[in-house]
Amino acid sequence: MKPLVAVVGRPNVGKSTFFNRMIGERLAIVEDMPGTTRDRLYGDTDWNGRVFTLIDTGGLELGSGIPVGQVGLTGQPGDLMEHVMSQAHLAIEEADVIVFMVDARSGITASDEEVADLLRRTKKPVIVAANKADNAARRMDAVEFYSFGLGEPIVISSIQGVGTGDLLDRIVEEL
């Protein structure tokens, strides 16, 4: 079986954009609305000759039955954050490498902290990817993600394709 690499993180940080860039647009759906990917999506890819399966864990983020606007402590609708956390638990069980994606434009949110608390408890390799670092100022801002205690954040822009090679280098180092 190929090694599994799961991309986890709260909705709207750019998980599907990264996944689509790696796998091709036929599999994941990305829209401007947060959370339109309904299920976990699996796609095979390779980097420097290493083949692995990438998992986009965003799913069931819409149509979960929760009234719009009902927001929990973390600023995300309750079911939505539960889903993020259950996907993170699943990633810890199933994946060989976990990519924890965050948003360099918004900075750290309470939802990010909740995911980070969980990921700090696994012995599996976790790579922090600070996405949406589209310019020099955003790349500088990304140092704040060191505070998760999960190692050096890899700064990327999934839209521009900048830094994604560095992220893939880090991923295959851990396979």
List contacts with ligand GDP (CB under 6 A): 11-17, 30, 32, 34-35, 37, 58, 131-132, 134, 157-159
Binding site annotation covers 2?
no
* Closest CA relative to residue 2, chosen from 95, 98, 91: 95
The CB-of-14 to Mg ion minimum distance in angstroms stands at 8
Tokens of residue 155, six digits: 């700064």
The CB-of-50 to ligand GDP minimum distance in angstroms stands at 24
| Identity of the residue, 97 or 157, whose beta carbon is nearer to ligand GDP in the bound complex | 157
Binding site annotation covers 175?
no
Distance CA 74, CA 51 (A): 36
Tokens of residue 60, six digits: 């069931």
9 belongs to the binding site for Mg ion (CB under 5 A): no
Binding site annotation covers 10?
yes
Binding site annotation covers 124?
no
Of the residues 58, 77, 153, 163, which one makes contact with Mg ion according to CB under 5 A: 58
| Identity of the residue, 79 or 144, whose beta carbon is nearer to Mg ion in the bound complex | 79
Total binding residues for Mg ion by CB under 5 A? Answer: 4
The alpha carbon of 25 is separated from its chain's Cα centroid by a whole number of angstroms, namely 17
Binding site annotation covers 165?
no
Would you give the binding string for Mg ion spanning residues 82-101, x where CB under 5 A is met?
A: --------------------
Q: Which residues does the annotation place in the binding site for GTP?
A: 9-16, 56-60, 131-134
Q: Which residues does the annotation place in the binding site?
A: 9-16, 56-60, 131-134
